[in-house]
Structure 1
Amino acid sequence: MTGRGDGTVGKALGVLDQVAGFGRPVRFSELLEASDLPKATLYRLLQTLTNQEMLIYEPDRGVYSPGIRLVRLAHAAWAQSSLAPIARPHLEALSREVGETVHLAQLDGGHVLYVDKRNAAEPVEMYSQSGKVGPAYCTGVGKAMLAHLPEPDLARVLPQQSFHRFTGATLADEDALRSELAEIRRHGYGFDREEHEPGIICVAVPILTPRGRLLGALSVTGTTARTRLAALEGYVPRIKAAAKAISEEAQHWRFPDRPVEAKGR
């Protein structure tokens, strides 16, 4: 999707999303093939974004990539509107203590945005990286956050879940997800049981304000080759302590109370 019904600005932001989504320099022909915009409109928006340094165009290779101005804006957003700067020392301490990978995530509409990550002593290749957007319905951090959304917000984001079966353990529909979210609310933590990637498991807890407003989620992630869910579950008290410390420090920052809306992904 390249636009959200928000006129030229919405279309331009959609193009930025599209370029970034390739994860590499991308040719105009590739963008056009994936876009619902007319060729002339797409070209005009790319020219404008390039002129504004939001994109870089390399004429010798004929490719577009994110520009330096976008990098500056992203850095400012990371510093001012994400939990990452506050959470970083707590993530580092938690990762050192448990010896596994630790993730920090926030909701991006109905999806998971990984805002920071600390690798295990023995890193493992996996999907999650800082800045990546992933599914909420089949990740530990995603389910931990969905479970603590107010019902009106949850009702808006559940239709955005694709329920694509990544593995045999992936939750297949809204009813199955709602049932698990109720369990997460009861226990205060949830799991990823190889639901997004084979061999990858985690336990996750939400980061909540004292009044219960959702800020994000923390997880400890391992592999089935070297650990089990029961072992990860033993880290829950430590993860909850880190989440509480992050929440307490976040009270002194001004985080946007961003409404959970469809993002047209």
Structure 2
Amino acid sequence: MSAGHTDGTVGKALGLLDMVVGFGRPVRFVEVQQVSDMPKATLYRLLQTLTNQRMLSYDEERSTYQPGLRLVQLAHSAWRQVTLAPVARPHLDALSAKLGETVHLAQLDGGQVLYIDKRNATRPISMFSDAGKIGPGYCTGVGKAMLAYLPEAELARALSQQSWFGHTEHTHTTPDSLRNELPDIRRTGISFDREEHEPTIICIAVPILDATQRPLGAMSITSSTLRHSLTDLERFAPDLHATASAIARDATGLSLPINTVIA
């Protein structure tokens, strides 16, 4: 949690909040202590502060911490105000109903992918991506679709923020390798996940662009090699482009943040 130390107490508290929520379940003090580098007294004090502010809740019977209702309220408010999700919802519903495939909606944050909405396929497939999860930018279809349209300075910063971990044998593991693919994405307006993040999981993705061709977000159709080939997915490109254009049109005039890349 050292990254939060540079921002003082507020940074430490937010980092701790991320840590507790990241467990994905109620968590005991000793579990948090095992993954935190803060002194025990500081850790306990910040947990108490977050609990008093209702950002966390504490179950006295089980001695566990979990997200609080105030955090849920703030999350819902942020979801409505600063994501494409409310604008995109009817379009995602229509696309999902038409195709019966898994649809993802994502935005770029700090060079990483934030999944902000999802529609499951008629026959769902088990995969990493769910609304609210953070995924890598360099080896996901939606991530590459957005990275391809970033101005050069922002692209360079985003690439410097990637881990370049080889999730599969198909993963880009260097900036140059990914850069070689970006011109094709800009030329065709589509990107593919070729089992780059998870074995057997493939997708076709398109960016959602504003009037200046800056990426507001991206959307994808995701499937498995057990059901589809990349060629099969390519036939969904016209529907994806039409839906992305409709979302971009409806987002015009809204105070949505452009994809952010932290320096």
Where do 1:1-265 residues align within 5 Å? Answer: 1=1, 3=4, 5-257=6-258, 259-261=260-262
Which amino acid in 2 is paired with 1:222?
Answer: S
Q: Single out whichever of 19-28 and 81-90 deviates more from structure 2.
A: 19-28
Cα-to-partner distance string for 1:173-199 (whole Å, 9 max, x where unaligned): 111111112221122110001111111
Question: What is the CA-CA distance between 1:258 and the residue it aligns to?
Answer: 5.9
Corresponding residue SS for 1:93: helix
* Structure 1 runs not aligned, ≥5 long: none
Question: What is the CA-CA distance between 1:233 and the residue it aligns to?
Answer: 0.8
Which amino acid in 1 is paired with 2:140?
Answer: T
Question: What is the CA-CA distance between 1:259 and the residue it aligns to?
Answer: 3.7
Corresponding residue SS for 1:40: helix
Cα-to-partner distance string for 1:198-240 (whole Å, 9 max, x where unaligned): 1110000000101112100010011111111111111111101
Question: What is the CA-CA distance between 1:36 and the residue it aligns to?
Answer: 2.4
Work out whether residues 216 and 257 of structure 2, in 8 Å CA contact, stay in contact via their aligned partners in 1. no
Cα-to-partner distance string for 1:122-172 (whole Å, 9 max, x where unaligned): 111111111111111111001111111111111112121111111111111
TM-score by length of 2: 0.96
Distance 1:157 1:238 in 2: 29
Cα-to-partner distance string for 1:85-143 (whole Å, 9 max, x where unaligned): 11011111111222210000001211111000001111111111111111111110011
Residue correspondences, number: 262
Cα-to-partner distance string for 1:14-62 (whole Å, 9 max, x where unaligned): 1111111111111222212212222222111111000000001112212
Q: Single out whichever of 92-101 and 139-148 deviates more from structure 2.
A: 92-101
Question: What is the CA-CA distance between 1:4 and the residue it aligns to?
Answer: 5.3
Work out whether residues 172 and 196 of structure 2, in 8 Å CA contact, stay in contact via their aligned partners in 1. yes
* Structure 2 runs not aligned, ≥5 long: none
Distance 1:37 1:184 in 2: 44
Identity %: 62
Corresponding residue SS for 1:219: strand
Distance 2:232 2:253 in 1: 34
The change in CA–CA distance for 1:141 and 1:182 in structure 2 (over 3 A counts) is same
Work out whether residues 105 and 217 of structure 2, in 8 Å CA contact, stay in contact via their aligned partners in 1. yes
The change in CA–CA distance for 1:124 and 1:19 in structure 2 (over 3 A counts) is same
Which amino acid in 1 is paired with 2:120?
Answer: N
Which amino acid in 1 is paired with 2:181?
Answer: E
TM-score by length of 1: 0.95
The change in CA–CA distance for 1:140 and 1:84 in structure 2 (over 3 A counts) is same
The change in CA–CA distance for 1:149 and 1:67 in structure 2 (over 3 A counts) is same
Work out whether residues 215 and 258 of structure 2, in 8 Å CA contact, stay in contact via their aligned partners in 1. no
